[in-house]
Structure 1
Amino acid sequence: MRPIVHCHLVNGPFGDPSLYAEIMFERRAMLFDLGDLSPLSPRKLLRVSHAFVSHAHMDHFAGFDRLLRVLLGREKTVAMYGPADFIDRIEHKLHAYTWNVIGNYDGNLIFDVSEVHDGGIVWSARFQSRHAFRREPMPEARIEGDVLASCGALQVRCAVLDHATPCLGFALEERAHVNIWKTRLDELGLEVGPWLGALKRALLQDAPDDTPIRALRRSDEGVTPVTLPLGALRALATVVAGQKIAYVVDARDHVANVARIERLAWRADVLFIECTFLLADAAHAMRKNHLTAHRAGLIARHAQVKRLAPCHFSTRYAERGDVLSEEAQRAFQGLGPTA
């Protein structure tokens, strides 16, 4: 299966937390946390359609100004999600600036901001540049299950964790994935092209067999459009389980938190999880409300994730990141901590 989401840590494991998730073939991306975003080019930031912020500690949120600066003046809407009081924090950031001339800008930049409260209640507000980013309340909603947002074939689930302040963990999931068989395209004399996107969407929506699909057919005269019923094209594809990426940073090590993280990350293809301190410094980790690398590895093992991606290392281990990674991976593999 070719993944449709490609992720990378913007600042590596020691820098400000921020995960850039690029949605292939859609020229669209998501951000998980808004730490230092200066390594991302304006082109990459312009692709961001959704931003999910775990909490508003500075190393997770300071990059909002960079995002705002790049997007300002564009016709653009960004959906943003965070914990309780997140709307107030966005409003304060926006109102730190003077907007007396922004009415002359051609593009209208919109931030649709939502915050998650206990019981799955979600409050939302809109901030538009054409209105000098004045808060415009939006209807209250409620999370269905733990699904925070749906974005086409993708959905983002969340869990409210304890970091001595509410902190959100996230899981990005592809509901299902459609594999197209090139050999079967060739057998039917059909050409690869953008029309395959429409075919995939129809299959994922379980559309009726008589749904018309406008395809491309090859012949000696060249490539010509042809309309075929979905039922005649089903054999071209196989629908399989989709990709799942979990992201968890800043959580205290206690039973309730661990259970929530394991449920959120269950059988993820990759789990990006904080490995902030070594097990030898577990008491300090508790005082700082963080996980140890050992605990993160155990969580990944119990959640049956396929790959563990350690992140959010404490700078006290600068030049020793391999030790944190090794401790996490040993726990993930069921091995004991090193002496």
Structure 2
Amino acid sequence: MPDCRSTTVKPVFHPALVNGPCGDPAVYVDFLFEKRAVLFDLGDIRTLPVRKILRLSDVFVSHAHMDHFFGFDWLLRLCLGRDLGIRLFGPAGFLDQVEHKLSAYTWNLVGGYSTDFSFEVSEVLTETLGRRASFRCHTAFRREGETEFPIENRRLLDELNLAVEFVILDHATPCLAFALREKRHLNVWKNRLVELGLAPGSWVRDLKHALLTGQHEDTPVRALMRDGARLREAVYRLGELAPSLVHVSEGQKVAYVTDAVYHEANAARMVALAAGADQFFIEAVFGDELNERAARKYHLTARQAGTIARRAGVKFPTPFHFSPVYQGQEEALEREFRHAFLTGGRK
């Protein structure tokens, strides 16, 4: 019988620039199949629908220059009074910066709130050490439970099937760049479900979880089988069902780099972080004709950014964080970036 199974990968991560290439830096990443999203940088996020902001589980802040941290107050304003918790990550000094933001407000009435919104805030001290504390509504957002924690493999998150990694870049201050990675992509062939007489349902999620956690091939899988107009339970062995139903492939990767001067040490860190990324968001602040200005301001030119994207072997690069001096000339920066990406920076 011919093999008609499709191996088309349906992306799990759906990233998008919040403010386009010229506005405050922020990339919102929605998760397929989950009521969850993450955000890279906290620039102006007022254009994001409230429902999207309330999906956020984690926010990764590169550094606390105003255009990257301006949205903190709006995030706080929308989440206050809700029973939510958000994890924030930033560079050294980030705990103090969040604490100062929160202490600028008067919290004398929040102890009576029925909900206890909280931030868990982590700052990266070195590639192997971090510091963490919490700030809760019911305690007037006092800094609590401060502790240091080890960082392994430069990972800020390390969950069952995703990881968020970082590097520390030079922007005349420590600046973090991030990569969100799906460890493995599990694609269930819908046509095989039909051929086997199976119906979709929560059991498919359980099947994927069993594979991700490396359960034994004899593990029972309780699937839903179509029986005429009704559904009934059918029990399979994991090793019997999974090979004919699930395609396992390399997971998706989204990388984010902004605010870094061009020198080889910085470039090497960016390349290592973004290597092989499916989608790569990288700043391209100035054109090559302003490369000296870019160096003074510790930013990348479009040519430098395109060259880094090429060295990293990314699939779909997106330049952003264009300087206001290029308002109305955005296409010129795009062309310079694309030329460098395709040629390796040759003029």
- Give the TM-score range, shorter chain: over 0.9
Partner of 1:89: 97
Distance 2:84 2:215 in 1: 31
Match of 2:291 among 266, 276, 282: 282
Partner of 1:312: 321
Partner of 2:29: 21
How do 1:150-299 residues align onto structure 2 when only pairs under 5 Å count? 150-234=158-242, 235-299=244-308
> Contact between 2:201 and 2:224, CA under 8 Å: does it hold in 1?
yes
CA displacement at 1:127 relative to structure 2: 0.6
Deviation per CA, 1:44-65, whole angstroms, max 9, x where unpaired?
1100000000000000001000
Deviation per CA, 1:195-240, whole angstroms, max 9, x where unpaired?
2111111112221112232321101141223333322221210110
CA RMSD of aligned residues (A): 1.3
Distance 2:146 2:313 in 1: 38
| Deviates most, 119-128 or 236-245 | 119-128
In structure 1, the residue corresponding to 2:198 is in which secondary structure? coil
CA displacement at 1:152 relative to structure 2: 4.1
CA displacement at 1:289 relative to structure 2: 0.5
Partner of 1:112: 120
> Contact between 1:127 and 1:135, CA under 8 Å: does it hold in 2?
yes
Match of 1:63 among 54, 61, 71: 71
Kindly provide the amino acid, as one letter, of the partner of residue 179 in structure 1: N
After superposition, the Cα gap between the structure-2 partners of 1:35 and 1:296, relative to the gap in structure 1 and judged at 3 Å, is same
Q: What TM-score results when the alignment is normalised by the length of structure 1?
A: 0.97
> Contact between 1:294 and 1:337, CA under 8 Å: does it hold in 2?
no
CA displacement at 1:337 relative to structure 2: 6.1
Match of 2:311 among 302, 321, 330: 302
> Contact between 1:10 and 1:18, CA under 8 Å: does it hold in 2?
yes
CA displacement at 1:19 relative to structure 2: 0.4
Match of 1:128 among 115, 133, 136: 136
CA displacement at 1:335 relative to structure 2: 6.3
Distance 2:87 2:291 in 1: 37
In structure 2, the residue corresponding to 1:325 is in which secondary structure? helix
> Contact between 2:127 and 2:168, CA under 8 Å: does it hold in 1?
no
Distance 2:282 2:273 in 1: 12
Distance 2:188 2:218 in 1: 20
Kindly provide the amino acid, as one letter, of the partner of residue 30 in structure 2: E
In structure 1, the residue corresponding to 2:106 is in which secondary structure? coil
CA displacement at 1:309 relative to structure 2: 0.4
What are the ranges of 5 or more consecutive residues in structure 2 without an aligned counterpart? 1-8
Distance 2:115 2:97 in 1: 24
In structure 2, the residue corresponding to 1:294 is in which secondary structure? helix
> Contact between 1:6 and 1:24, CA under 8 Å: does it hold in 2?
yes
Distance 2:322 2:128 in 1: 30
Match of 1:137 among 131, 145, 152: 145
In structure 1, the residue corresponding to 2:291 is in which secondary structure? helix
**When the two structures are aligned, how many residues end up with a matched partner?**
338
Kindly provide the amino acid, as one letter, of the partner of residue 107 in structure 2: W
Distance 2:67 2:181 in 1: 25
> Contact between 2:307 and 2:344, CA under 8 Å: does it hold in 1?
no
Kindly provide the amino acid, as one letter, of the partner of residue 129 in structure 1: C
What are the ranges of 5 or more consecutive residues in structure 1 without an aligned counterpart? none
CA displacement at 1:119 relative to structure 2: 4.2
Kindly provide the amino acid, as one letter, of the partner of residue 66 in structure 2: M
> Contact between 1:327 and 1:337, CA under 8 Å: does it hold in 2?
no
Distance 2:213 2:335 in 1: 43
Distance 2:263 2:290 in 1: 16
Distance 2:329 2:160 in 1: 41
| Deviates most, 243-252 or 201-210 | 201-210
Distance 1:280 1:217 in 2: 65
Q: What TM-score results when the alignment is normalised by the length of structure 2?
A: 0.95
In structure 1, the residue corresponding to 2:121 is in which secondary structure? strand
In structure 1, the residue corresponding to 2:115 is in which secondary structure? coil
